[in-house]
Structure 1
Amino acid sequence: METRDIIDIQQLIAFCHHAVDHDDQSLFPLVFTQDAHFDGRLCGGPLCEGMEAIQAFFALGKPPHPPSHHVTNVVVYEEGDKVRVKMKWLCPDPGTGGVVTGDNLDWVVRTPDGWRIKERVASLRYPSGFSNEPQ
Protein backbone atom coordinates (compact mmCIF):
# COMPACT_ATOMS: atom_id res chain seq x y z
CA MET A 1 0.00 0.00 0.00
CA GLU A 2 1.23 3.46 -0.86
CA THR A 3 1.05 6.49 1.43
CA ARG A 4 -1.56 8.00 -0.91
CA ASP A 5 -3.79 4.93 -0.37
CA ILE A 6 -3.62 5.34 3.41
CA ILE A 7 -4.53 9.03 3.14
CA ASP A 8 -7.40 8.28 0.76
CA ILE A 9 -8.71 5.54 3.05
CA GLN A 10 -8.53 7.79 6.11
CA GLN A 11 -10.44 10.45 4.16
CA LEU A 12 -13.05 7.82 3.22
CA ILE A 13 -13.53 6.85 6.87
CA ALA A 14 -13.94 10.49 7.94
CA PHE A 15 -16.33 11.19 5.06
CA CYS A 16 -18.41 8.12 5.95
CA HIS A 17 -19.50 9.75 9.20
CA HIS A 18 -20.44 12.92 7.33
CA ALA A 19 -22.47 10.80 4.89
CA VAL A 20 -24.26 9.04 7.76
CA ASP A 21 -25.16 12.41 9.30
CA HIS A 22 -26.24 13.96 5.98
CA ASP A 23 -29.94 14.79 5.50
CA ASP A 24 -30.42 11.85 3.17
CA GLN A 25 -28.47 8.83 2.00
CA SER A 26 -27.34 10.36 -1.32
CA LEU A 27 -23.65 10.33 -0.28
CA PHE A 28 -23.57 6.61 0.53
CA PRO A 29 -22.41 5.54 -2.98
CA LEU A 30 -19.26 7.60 -2.29
CA VAL A 31 -18.62 5.48 0.82
CA PHE A 32 -19.92 1.91 0.36
CA THR A 33 -19.71 -0.67 -2.41
CA GLN A 34 -23.06 -1.76 -3.88
CA ASP A 35 -22.66 -5.18 -2.22
CA ALA A 36 -21.41 -3.82 1.13
CA HIS A 37 -22.31 -5.38 4.46
CA PHE A 38 -22.97 -3.29 7.57
CA ASP A 39 -23.11 -5.41 10.72
CA GLY A 40 -24.54 -3.44 13.64
CA ARG A 41 -25.61 -6.45 15.70
CA LEU A 42 -22.92 -5.86 18.35
CA CYS A 43 -24.52 -2.42 18.90
CA GLY A 44 -28.09 -3.69 18.99
CA GLY A 45 -28.65 -2.92 15.31
CA PRO A 46 -29.26 -5.09 12.25
CA LEU A 47 -27.12 -6.86 9.70
CA CYS A 48 -27.60 -4.92 6.46
CA GLU A 49 -26.56 -6.62 3.24
CA GLY A 50 -26.21 -4.38 0.20
CA MET A 51 -26.32 -0.65 -0.35
CA GLU A 52 -30.14 -0.46 -0.36
CA ALA A 53 -30.39 -2.15 3.04
CA ILE A 54 -27.71 0.14 4.51
CA GLN A 55 -29.46 3.22 3.12
CA ALA A 56 -32.83 2.04 4.48
CA PHE A 57 -31.36 1.52 7.95
CA PHE A 58 -29.91 5.04 8.10
CA ALA A 59 -33.04 6.51 6.49
CA LEU A 60 -34.81 5.81 9.81
CA GLY A 61 -33.44 9.20 10.86
CA LYS A 62 -32.58 10.77 14.17
CA PRO A 63 -33.84 9.18 16.35
CA PRO A 64 -33.36 6.23 16.38
CA HIS A 65 -29.86 7.15 15.17
CA PRO A 66 -27.72 9.55 17.18
CA PRO A 67 -27.72 13.21 16.12
CA SER A 68 -24.05 13.00 15.04
CA HIS A 69 -21.29 10.44 14.53
CA HIS A 70 -17.61 11.09 15.22
CA VAL A 71 -14.54 9.01 14.39
CA THR A 72 -11.04 8.87 15.86
CA ASN A 73 -7.94 6.66 16.15
CA VAL A 74 -8.04 5.43 12.54
CA VAL A 75 -5.50 2.70 11.73
CA VAL A 76 -5.13 1.31 8.19
CA TYR A 77 -3.36 -2.03 7.74
CA GLU A 78 -3.11 -5.06 5.50
CA GLU A 79 -4.33 -8.43 6.74
CA GLY A 80 -3.63 -11.16 4.24
CA ASP A 81 -5.12 -9.98 0.96
CA LYS A 82 -7.49 -7.49 2.64
CA VAL A 83 -7.07 -3.84 3.52
CA ARG A 84 -8.56 -3.28 6.96
CA VAL A 85 -9.38 -0.19 8.98
CA LYS A 86 -9.83 -0.16 12.73
CA MET A 87 -11.19 2.97 14.37
CA LYS A 88 -13.03 4.25 17.42
CA TRP A 89 -16.32 6.12 17.18
CA LEU A 90 -18.41 8.20 19.55
CA CYS A 91 -21.91 9.62 19.44
CA PRO A 92 -23.87 11.85 21.79
CA ASP A 93 -26.70 10.09 23.59
CA PRO A 94 -29.66 12.50 23.60
CA GLY A 95 -31.46 10.29 26.10
CA THR A 96 -28.83 10.62 28.83
CA GLY A 97 -26.74 13.59 27.73
CA GLY A 98 -23.74 11.28 27.83
CA VAL A 99 -21.62 9.69 25.16
CA VAL A 100 -21.81 6.27 23.53
CA THR A 101 -18.54 4.86 22.17
CA GLY A 102 -17.49 1.87 20.15
CA ASP A 103 -15.24 0.42 17.50
CA ASN A 104 -15.58 -0.16 13.77
CA LEU A 105 -13.65 -2.78 11.87
CA ASP A 106 -13.82 -2.23 8.12
CA TRP A 107 -12.72 -4.07 5.03
CA VAL A 108 -12.08 -1.51 2.28
CA VAL A 109 -11.51 -2.15 -1.43
CA ARG A 110 -10.21 -0.06 -4.29
CA THR A 111 -12.88 0.46 -6.96
CA PRO A 112 -12.68 2.35 -10.28
CA ASP A 113 -14.21 5.29 -8.34
CA GLY A 114 -11.77 5.13 -5.41
CA TRP A 115 -11.67 3.34 -2.07
CA ARG A 116 -14.99 2.10 -0.66
CA ILE A 117 -16.13 0.20 2.42
CA LYS A 118 -17.09 -3.36 1.55
CA GLU A 119 -17.75 -4.48 5.12
CA ARG A 120 -18.20 -2.70 8.44
CA VAL A 121 -18.64 -4.37 11.80
CA ALA A 122 -19.64 -1.90 14.52
CA SER A 123 -19.29 -2.85 18.17
CA LEU A 124 -20.33 -1.03 21.31
CA ARG A 125 -17.62 -0.21 23.84
CA TYR A 126 -19.44 2.09 26.30
CA PRO A 127 -21.78 2.03 28.10
CA SER A 128 -22.22 -1.72 27.52
CA GLY A 129 -19.51 -3.79 29.12
CA PHE A 130 -17.85 -0.77 30.71
CA SER A 131 -16.24 -1.33 34.09
CA ASN A 132 -14.06 0.76 36.39
CA GLU A 133 -12.80 -2.43 37.99
CA PRO A 134 -9.20 -3.44 37.24
CA GLN A 135 -8.99 -6.39 34.83
Structure 2
Amino acid sequence: MALTCEDRFLIAELIAMHGHLCDSGELERLGEVFTPDVTYDVTDFGQAPLRGLSALADAARALGDRNPVGHHVTNVVLTEQADGRVHARSKGIGINADGTSGSVTYEDTVVRTGQGWRIDHRTLLARRAPLGG
Protein backbone atom coordinates (compact mmCIF):
# COMPACT_ATOMS: atom_id res chain seq x y z
CA MET A 1 0.00 0.00 0.00
CA ALA A 2 1.48 3.33 -1.04
CA LEU A 3 2.09 6.07 1.51
CA THR A 4 -0.46 8.82 0.78
CA CYS A 5 -0.06 12.56 1.28
CA GLU A 6 -2.48 12.24 4.21
CA ASP A 7 -0.30 9.49 5.75
CA ARG A 8 2.75 11.73 5.40
CA PHE A 9 0.93 14.61 7.06
CA LEU A 10 -0.32 12.41 9.93
CA ILE A 11 3.14 10.92 10.55
CA ALA A 12 4.82 14.33 10.58
CA GLU A 13 2.15 15.58 13.01
CA LEU A 14 2.69 12.48 15.16
CA ILE A 15 6.41 13.20 15.38
CA ALA A 16 5.70 16.82 16.33
CA MET A 17 3.17 15.81 19.02
CA HIS A 18 5.93 14.16 21.09
CA GLY A 19 7.43 17.56 21.90
CA HIS A 20 4.08 19.11 22.76
CA LEU A 21 3.23 16.32 25.19
CA CYS A 22 6.64 16.35 26.86
CA ASP A 23 6.80 20.13 27.15
CA SER A 24 3.33 20.32 28.72
CA GLY A 25 4.00 17.38 31.07
CA GLU A 26 1.21 15.29 29.57
CA LEU A 27 3.18 12.05 29.82
CA GLU A 28 0.00 10.02 30.34
CA ARG A 29 -0.81 10.80 26.67
CA LEU A 30 2.40 9.28 25.23
CA GLY A 31 0.25 6.42 23.91
CA GLU A 32 -1.01 8.91 21.30
CA VAL A 33 2.51 8.94 19.84
CA PHE A 34 4.09 5.58 20.70
CA THR A 35 2.96 1.95 20.68
CA PRO A 36 2.47 0.42 24.16
CA ASP A 37 5.64 -1.68 23.76
CA VAL A 38 7.79 1.06 22.18
CA THR A 39 11.56 0.74 22.30
CA TYR A 40 13.19 4.13 22.96
CA ASP A 41 16.88 3.62 22.31
CA VAL A 42 19.09 6.10 24.16
CA THR A 43 22.27 4.00 24.13
CA ASP A 44 24.07 6.80 22.27
CA PHE A 45 23.68 8.76 25.53
CA GLY A 46 25.14 5.97 27.68
CA GLN A 47 21.79 4.61 28.89
CA ALA A 48 19.98 1.34 28.36
CA PRO A 49 17.06 1.35 25.91
CA LEU A 50 13.67 2.10 27.45
CA ARG A 51 10.86 -0.34 26.72
CA GLY A 52 7.20 0.50 27.08
CA LEU A 53 5.22 3.66 27.73
CA SER A 54 5.59 3.58 31.52
CA ALA A 55 9.39 3.25 31.29
CA LEU A 56 9.45 6.23 28.93
CA ALA A 57 7.26 8.36 31.22
CA ASP A 58 9.22 7.29 34.33
CA ALA A 59 12.51 8.29 32.69
CA ALA A 60 11.11 11.72 31.79
CA ARG A 61 9.86 12.21 35.35
CA ALA A 62 13.23 11.11 36.76
CA LEU A 63 15.00 13.79 34.69
CA GLY A 64 12.80 16.43 36.30
CA ASP A 65 14.25 19.91 35.79
CA ARG A 66 17.00 18.50 33.57
CA ASN A 67 14.42 17.92 30.81
CA PRO A 68 14.50 20.45 27.99
CA VAL A 69 11.76 23.07 28.36
CA GLY A 70 11.26 23.00 24.59
CA HIS A 71 11.41 20.02 22.24
CA HIS A 72 11.38 21.04 18.57
CA VAL A 73 11.52 18.78 15.53
CA THR A 74 12.40 19.61 11.95
CA ASN A 75 13.71 18.12 8.69
CA VAL A 76 11.33 15.14 8.71
CA VAL A 77 12.08 12.65 5.93
CA LEU A 78 9.80 9.63 5.46
CA THR A 79 10.64 6.44 3.60
CA GLU A 80 8.08 3.68 3.15
CA GLN A 81 9.43 0.19 3.80
CA ALA A 82 8.39 -2.95 1.90
CA ASP A 83 6.60 -4.32 4.99
CA GLY A 84 4.33 -1.25 5.30
CA ARG A 85 6.32 0.34 8.09
CA VAL A 86 7.71 3.82 7.62
CA HIS A 87 11.23 4.94 8.45
CA ALA A 88 11.16 8.53 9.69
CA ARG A 89 14.34 10.53 10.15
CA SER A 90 14.17 13.95 11.77
CA LYS A 91 16.23 16.47 13.70
CA GLY A 92 15.41 17.31 17.29
CA ILE A 93 16.40 20.55 18.97
CA GLY A 94 16.10 20.82 22.74
CA ILE A 95 16.07 24.17 24.53
CA ASN A 96 17.10 23.99 28.18
CA ALA A 97 15.87 26.21 31.01
CA ASP A 98 19.26 27.96 31.14
CA GLY A 99 19.01 28.92 27.45
CA THR A 100 21.49 26.34 26.17
CA SER A 101 20.42 23.99 23.42
CA GLY A 102 21.23 20.58 22.03
CA SER A 103 20.52 18.63 18.88
CA VAL A 104 19.74 14.99 18.16
CA THR A 105 18.70 12.90 15.19
CA TYR A 106 15.58 10.80 15.64
CA GLU A 107 15.46 7.52 13.71
CA ASP A 108 11.90 6.21 14.02
CA THR A 109 10.01 3.17 12.86
CA VAL A 110 6.37 4.14 12.44
CA VAL A 111 3.59 1.56 12.18
CA ARG A 112 -0.11 1.76 11.35
CA THR A 113 -2.24 0.60 14.29
CA GLY A 114 -5.97 0.47 14.96
CA GLN A 115 -5.58 3.90 16.59
CA GLY A 116 -3.62 5.37 13.67
CA TRP A 117 0.10 5.78 13.08
CA ARG A 118 2.39 5.23 16.09
CA ILE A 119 6.15 5.17 16.67
CA ASP A 120 7.18 1.60 17.49
CA HIS A 121 10.92 2.20 17.77
CA ARG A 122 12.88 5.42 18.26
CA THR A 123 16.64 5.75 18.32
CA LEU A 124 18.18 9.02 19.49
CA LEU A 125 21.55 9.78 17.94
CA ALA A 126 23.67 12.37 19.71
CA ARG A 127 24.89 15.34 17.72
CA ARG A 128 28.64 15.02 17.28
CA ALA A 129 31.10 17.76 16.39
CA PRO A 130 32.08 17.65 12.71
CA LEU A 131 35.45 16.18 11.76
CA GLY A 132 38.24 18.64 12.33
CA GLY A 133 35.98 20.78 14.51
TM superposition score normalised by structure 1:
0.86
Alpha carbons 2:67, 2:96 under 8 Å: kept: no
Cα distance in 1 for partners of 2:48, 2:71 equals 18
Q: 1:111 to 1:29 in 2, by over 3 A?
A: same
1:92 aligns with 2:95: yes
Displacement of 1:64 in angstroms is 2.4
Residue identity (%): 30
Equivalent position to 2:110, from 108, 111, 119: 108
Cα distance in 2 for partners of 1:64, 1:16 equals 17
What secondary structure sits across from 2:62 in the alignment?
Answer: coil
Alpha carbons 1:24, 1:59 under 8 Å: kept: no
Gapped regions of structure 2 (runs ≥ 5)? none
1:131 aligns with 2:130: yes
Gapped regions of structure 1 (runs ≥ 5)? none
Displacement of 1:53 in angstroms is 0.8
More helix per residue: 2
Displacement of 1:112 in angstroms is 1.0
Displacement of 1:40 in angstroms is 1.2
Q: What amino acid does structure 1 have at the position aligned with 2:62?
A: L
Cα distance in 2 for partners of 1:48, 1:122 equals 11
Displacement of 1:73 in angstroms is 0.3
Matched residue pairs, number? Answer: 130
Cα distance in 2 for partners of 1:17, 1:99 equals 15
The residue that corresponds to 1:78 in the other structure is: 80
Cα distance in 1 for partners of 2:6, 2:29 equals 22
Displacement of 1:98 in angstroms is 2.8
What secondary structure sits across from 2:27 in the alignment?
Answer: coil
Cα distance in 2 for partners of 1:73, 1:41 equals 23
TM superposition score normalised by structure 2:
0.87
Q: 1:24 to 1:46 in 2, by over 3 A?
A: farther
Displacement of 1:21 in angstroms is 1.5
1:34 aligns with 2:33: no
Alpha carbons 1:91, 1:99 under 8 Å: kept: yes
Displacement of 1:41 in angstroms is 1.6
